[in-house]
Amino acid sequence: MKESRKFLLMVAAFLVCFYLPVELLPFRNPIFEALALVRWYAREHVLLCLVPAFFIAGAISVFVSQASVIKYFGAKANKFLAYSVASVSGTILAVCSCTILPLFSGIYKRGAGLGPATAFLYSGPAINVLAIIMTARILGWELGLARAIGAIIFSVVIGLLMHLIFIKEERARHASGDLVAGEEKEERSLLQNSFYFASMVGFLVFANWVKPQSNTGLWAFIYLIKWYLSAGFLVLVGIMLIRWFRKNEIIDWVSAFWTFAKQIMPLLLAGVVVAGLLLGRPGHEGFIPSWIIVNAVGGNSLLSNFFASIVGAFMYFATLTEVPILQGLIGSGMGKGPALALLLAGPALSLPNMLVIRGVIGTKKTVVYVSLVVVMATISGILFGVIVS
């Protein structure tokens, strides 16, 4: 770099520092929101969401044979079975757009086809039974039903389109010799592996069980005993590790966990900081004032639905938080169509989510995936707005 350019950069940096408008609330508040959001994320999502997800992803990469993944999710797998399983996975997992990432990365790198993998990626956070029930009870049965149907259809359609758009690359990937569905010796039976993974997923689900609106009913009872259930699943995992796994397998598992953690965590935290700067936390201001969002999503125009999809795609929603946020937005004049568009794009995507997906499947595939979600959410919002009006 030439000395003159260095000097100009130094001068520019000095002027930025010299004229930083730190006394202005609109500038200070986004900085605070970014730090507050990343602290909240670290407290609420890392230990109970991401760490178990990293361990599950590591277990997939170490304990599940590549042949099994290719058999059920690979390019030559039964399409109906592959997409059926991937599209309803969210009903079991009930995870957010970030927790699904290690699991998606694990099955994709193990040999799953791009189509089933992206169907799984979308459905994991989008098809949450409790969130759909809360949507129906708080925002109306029409939005709840539309969200449930839309999320299942989205996962299948997006997966199929991703497969068709990148079919040449997928064929080359599966024909390269790196992904071969040959016979592999299984250390444990299918029943043992299934029980082991079910126990880890059980801990992930119940440890993150959110308190429901009502204090009565099955959901409330599960919330009361969630830690007993979580501890029980954790004990089962420990017993199985001692009895069914060799020491070198456990070492490989921990190594795989660390690989996923160091690949994904920095990108997630960086994305959370940027999301906090731009949009703030729910109910708080970032660089983009909330009144702009409220005014832009009224009615049922193409622009209002598209804007709702874009905001939903980039904003980070923890599991179930999208419902009270939308309740406030609808009360401020948000249309039903844009509300559905945000529900279909928001929980499944976020800026941190996009950064990690790019690291797994590349920039081009990530742009296409995000674009498909935004476009389909926009169209669905318009159609829904017309129907309910």
Residue 198 lies in a domain: no
- pLDDT reported for residue 384: 92
pLDDT band at 181 (very low <50, low <70, confident <90, very high): very low
Residue 21 lies in a domain: no
Would the pLDDT of 30 be above 60? Answer: yes
pLDDT band at 125 (very low <50, low <70, confident <90, very high): confident
* Stretch 175-185: mean pLDDT: 51
Would the pLDDT of 11 be above 60? Answer: yes
pLDDT band at 1 (very low <50, low <70, confident <90, very high): low
Question: Cβ distance 101 to 70 under 8 Å?
Answer: no
- pLDDT reported for residue 380: 93
Residue 328 lies in a domain: yes
Question: Cβ distance 300 to 332 under 8 Å?
Answer: no
Would the pLDDT of 183 be above 50? Answer: no
Would the pLDDT of 95 be above 70? Answer: no
Residues 234, 52: Cα–Cα separation, whole Å:
10
H helices of 127-246, where?
129-139, 141-165, 167-175, 190-207, 218-224, 226-244
* Stretch 129-142: mean pLDDT: 76
* Stretch 338-350: mean pLDDT: 87
Residue 303 lies in a domain: yes
Residue 14 lies in a domain: no
Residue carrying structure tokens 């129906």: 136
Residues 331, 265: Cα–Cα separation, whole Å:
36
Task: Pick the more confident residue, 160 or 99.
Answer: 160
pLDDT band at 333 (very low <50, low <70, confident <90, very high): confident
Would the pLDDT of 25 be above 80? Answer: no
- Residue 62's domain spans which residues? 35-187+246-388
Residue 340 lies in a domain: yes
Task: Pick the more confident residue, 182 or 16.
Answer: 16
Q: Show Cβ contacts of residue 180 under 8 Å, excluding neighbours closer than 6 positions.
A: 66, 67, 70
* Stretch 258-282: mean pLDDT: 74
Residue 235 lies in a domain: no
Task: Pick the more confident residue, 144 or 211.
Answer: 144
Residue 232 has, within 13 A of its CA and on its CB side, a CA count of 9
* Stretch 73-77: mean pLDDT: 70
Domain count, the chain: 1
Q: How far is CA 164 from CA 161, 169, 348, 365, in A?
A: 5, 10, 21, 12
Residue 278 lies in a domain: yes
- pLDDT reported for residue 286: 74
